[in-house]
Homo-oligomer: A and B are copies of this chain.
Amino acid sequence: MDALSLLVSALPDGVVVTDPDAVEKYRFDWSRDLLAGHPLAVVRAEDAAQVQTTVRWAAEHRVPVVPRGAGSGLSGGSTAVDGGIVLSLERMRAIEVDVECRVAVVEPGALNAEVKAACAEHGLWYPPDPSSYEICSIGGNVATNAGGLCCVKYGVTTDYVLGLDVVLADGTLVTLGGKRIKDVAGLSLLKLFVGSEGTLGIVTRVLLRLVPAQAARSTLVASFPDVGSAAEAVVDVGRTLRPSMMELMDNASINAVEDYRSMGLDRTAGALLVAQSDAPGAARAEEMTQIAAACELAGATAVFSTDDPAEGEMFVEARRLAFPAIEARGALLLEDVGAPVPRLPDLLAAIAAIATEHEVEIPVVAHAGDGNTHPIIVFDAGDPASEKRARLAFEAVMRAAIDLGGTITGEHGVGRAKKGALPDQLGPEVMALNQRVKDALDPHGILNPGAVL
A310 close to B (CB within 8 Å)? no
The answer to whether A100 has its CB under 8 Å from any CB of chain B is: yes
Does A6 sit at the interface, judged by CB under 8 A?
no
Task: Check: A191 CB closer than 8 A to any chain B CB.
Answer: yes
Any B CB within 8 A of the CB of A117:
no
Within 8 A of B (CB), among A265-297: 279-283, 286-287
The answer to whether A189 touches B434, judged by C-beta atoms less than 8 angstroms apart, is: yes
Quickly give the copy total for this chain: 2
Do residues A407 and B280 form an inter-chain contact, with CB atoms below 8 A? no
Chain B residue at minimum C-beta to C-beta distance from A153: B211
CA A341 – CA B211 in complex, angstroms? Answer: 13
A418–B145 Cα gap in the complex (Å)?
31
User: A405 at interface (Cβ–Cβ under 8 A)?
Assistant: yes
A25 to B422, CA, bound (A): 45
A123 contacts partner chain B, Cβ-Cβ < 8 Å: yes
- What string of 1s and 0s marks CB contacts (under 8 Å) between A157-176 and chain B? 01100000000100010111
Contact with B along A100-116 (1 / 0, CB 8 A): 11110000000000000
Q: List chain B residues, Cβ under 8 A from A338.
A: 180-183
Q: Which residue of B lies closest to A172 (CB)?
A: B429
- Cβ-defined contact, B189 with A342, below 8 A: no
For A430, the chain B residues whose CB sits under 8 A away are: 174-176, 186, 189
Q: CB-CB contacts of A133-160 with B at 8 A, as 1s and 0s?
A: 0000000000011010001000110110
| Contact yes or no, B422 A186, CB < 8 A | yes
* A180 and B409 within 8 A (CB): no
CB distance from A213 to the nearest CB of B (A): 8
By a CB distance below 8 angstroms, the chain B residues around A452 are: 186-187
What residues of chain B lie closer than 8 Å to A188, measured between beta carbons?
145, 158, 191-192, 194-196
Do B100 and A185 touch (CB < 8 A)?
no
**Interface flags, A416-437, vs B, CB<8A=1, else 0:** 0010001001110111011011
A299 at the interface (CB under 8 A from B): no
Question: Is the CB–CB distance between A212 and B240 below 8 Å?
Answer: yes
Pair B426/A436 contact, Cβ less than 8 Å: no
Q: Name, among A145, A340, A429, the residue most crowded by chain B CB atoms within 10 Å (CB to CB).
A: A340
A410 on the B face (CB < 8 A): yes
Are the CB atoms of A180 and B282 closer together than 8 Å?
no
Contact between A371 and B182, CB atoms less than 8 A apart? yes
B residues near A411, Cβ cutoff 8 Å:
182, 184
Which of A145, A183, A441 has the most chain B CB within a 10 Å cutoff? Answer: A183
Q: Which residues of B contact A100 (CB under 8 A)?
A: 235, 340, 342
Q: 19 A-B Cβ contacts within 8 A?
A: A100-B235, A158-B188, A159-B159, A178-B340, A180-B372, A182-B338, A182-B372, A184-B410, A185-B409, A185-B422, A186-B453, A187-B192, A188-B191, A188-B195, A189-B437, A212-B241, A279-B283, A281-B286, A433-B441
Supplied contacts A101-B340, A183-B410, A186-B425, 17 more A-B pairs, CB within 8 Å: A101-B341, A144-B184, A151-B182, A175-B427, A178-B406, A179-B340, A181-B371, A184-B407, A184-B410, A184-B412, A187-B196, A187-B452, A188-B194, A189-B192, A211-B242, A281-B283, A437-B440
Q: Which 5 A-B pairs have the closest CB atoms?
A: A280-B283, A191-B191, A440-B440, A182-B410, A281-B283
